[in-house]
Amino acid sequence: VSRTLGVSAAAAAAVAATALTGAAATGVLRSPQAKRGPALVLRGHVVGLYPGARKRLVVVVHNRSRRTLRVRAISVRVRNASRRCRAGNIHVTASKRPLRIRPGGSRRVALTVAMRGTSPNACQGAVFPLAFRSRVDVPRLPRPKNGR
Amino acid sequence: VRRFLLTVAAAVVVVGFPGGAAAGWAIHGSGSGAVKAKTLGTGAAPTTSVSGRKVTVTWTAITYTNGGNAAGYVIKRYDASTDALQTILSACTGTLTTLTCIENNVPKGSWKYTVTPATANWRGPESAKSATVTV
């Protein structure tokens, strides 16, 4: 009996540990009120680039969780627009400015996007998909005042 | 058994909450977006005037389809009867940043001109041909 209990407890512990660490491992914290997506969602679009041009790319960062989140950095990966218009024709600056976002709130972050002066004719009208990623801290929970 | 269960429970706390329950933890946010480039628009056919062997070519500014002027223009000359492309002469060669140019020493004949917007390596659609000019 004791052996069975031990094995069951170990299995339960493994499941619990996986469940608890799963959010950090996959990089996604599921918000309780929105089970369909990540807790922090980033969106940003810009139009009107041409060779040598620089534009402001406003990224809206939305916190869907019930916790205040602290965004430490935002990085952007540019994908190819086409086989003849590669991602290297665009450069997007990353943001290292810390950002604190309340539960359910949004903040705007301005990045800079530039197109190389040597971009080929194939880049006319091209659409470069962007993939945003951010490193986020969940601030420490406040200690209860009478918790000594 | 009891000691074992306590050990396992402690392990859960350590693995599940690194640093303890009061500490924050790190996650990643994600999302998508896009950057869209402009497209050069088509210009109107240029106008021409002749004086001796000089042809003055004039055109209007050509914009991108979503605003803003092209950085430069390329002028081409065609034989009015055969449509054969000719070698453009000074001072209408290369990419021009002006809205007019004077082609000198144009050979005798009948010619038509076009204008193409240009920004660095980008080229827009070529305009329709101008009215025929006879030198």
Give the CA distances from residue A103 to residues A7, A75, A97, A138, in Å, rounded to whole numbers and listed in that order: 40, 22, 19, 11
Touching check for A109 and chain B: CB below 8 Å?
Answer: no
Residues 6+ apart with CB under 8 A from A129: A78, A79, A81, B32, B33, B34
Residue range B69-83, pLDDT digits in tens: 999 999 999 999 999
* Chain A residues in contact with B36 (beta carbon < 8 A): 45-49, 125-128
pLDDT of residue B49: 97
In this complex, the residue of A40, A128, A134 whose CB is nearest that of residue B34 is A128
Measuring CA to CA, which residue among A2, A142, A38 is closest to residue B1? Answer: A2
Tokens of B14: 């350590």
Contact pairs from chain A to chain B, CB under 8 Å: 184
Tokens of B85: 């492309």
In DSSP notation, B83-120 reads: --EE---TTS-SEE-SSEEEE-SPPSSEEEEEEEEEET
**Closest chain B CA to residue A87:** B35
Touching check for A78 and chain B: CB below 8 Å?
Answer: yes
| Inter-chain touch A61–B29, beta carbons under 8 Å | yes
Residue range A32-89, pLDDT digits in tens: 444 556 789 999 999 999 999 999 999 999 999 888 999 988 999 999 999 999 999 9
Residue appearing with tokens 């706390």: B13
Return d(Cα B82, Cα B75) in angstroms, integer.
18
Tokens of A85: 């218009």
B57, with CB counted inside 10 A (0-12, 13-18, 19+), is: buried
* Chain A residues in contact with B123 (beta carbon < 8 A): 121
Touching check for A65 and chain B: CB below 8 Å?
Answer: no
Question: Beta strands B25-37 and A40-49: pairing type?
Answer: parallel
Return d(Cα A20, Cα A13) in angstroms, integer.
10
Return d(Cα A26, Cα A65) in angstroms, integer.
16
User: With 50 as the cut, is the pLDDT of residue B2 above it?
Assistant: yes
Measured at the alpha carbon of residue A111, what is the angle toward residues A109 and A117, in degrees to the nearest 5?
Answer: 165
Residue range A87-143, pLDDT digits in tens: 999 999 988 888 999 999 999 999 999 999 999 999 999 999 999 999 888 776 666
User: With 90 as the cut, is the pLDDT of residue A21 above it?
Assistant: no
Cβ atoms A82, A122 nearer than 8 A: yes
| Inter-chain touch A9–B5, beta carbons under 8 Å | yes
Percent of chain B exceeding pLDDT 70 equals 81
Three-class DSSP category at A29: coil
Residue range B108-127, pLDDT digits in tens: 999 999 999 999 999 999 99
